[in-house]
């Protein structure tokens, strides 16, 4: 589950999920919901991603930066996602995103950067919670 937060000159969202995998999946969908018209995105293409980091907050931050890179360079947006996280010495998130190629009419806003401003990932009694701000 994710919800958008009013934020001046940026897009901010909060994500709550029962697992780290679901947190990443929901944050991914929040990203695509903020910047595209999801109902116009098809699921004819797939993108596979792998991100490795030391901590859950760095893992989500790096994951979102990779999404932004793919959005900007490959003009790809997702509609469905599956993520698996290996929790060994280094956290490794592997995901597959089903989506399609972007065209100008499918883009709601242009993201510029994932920021560290108030960025937070924390373990809660119910699972995980994150707060993300994206510069537009």
Domain with residue 9: its CATH number is 3.55.10.10
The pTM (predicted TM-score) of the whole model is 0.92
- Residue range of the domain that includes 65: 2-135
- Report the domain count for the chain: 1
pLDDT in tens, 19-28: 999 999 999 9
pLDDT at 2: 77
Instruction: Specify the DSSP element, H or E, that contains 71.
Output: helix 56-74
């Amino acid at each position: 589950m994710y919800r958008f937060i009013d934020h001046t000159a940026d897009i901010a969202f909060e994500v709550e999920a029962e697992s780290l995998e679901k947190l990443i999946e929901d944050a991914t969908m929040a990203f695509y919901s903020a910047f595209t018209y999801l109902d116009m995105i098809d699921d004819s293409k797939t993108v596979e991603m792998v991100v490795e980091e030391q901590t859950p907050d760095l893992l989500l931050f790096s994951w979102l930066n990779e999404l932004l890179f793919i959005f900007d360079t490959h003009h790809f947006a997702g509609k469905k996602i599956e993520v698996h996280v290996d929790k060994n010495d280094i956290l490794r998130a592997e995901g597959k995103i089903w989506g399609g190629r972007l065209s100008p009419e499918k883009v709601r806003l242009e993201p510029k950067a994932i920021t560290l401003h108030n960025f937070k990932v924390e373990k809660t009694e119910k699972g995980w919670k994150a707060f993300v701000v994206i510069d537009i």
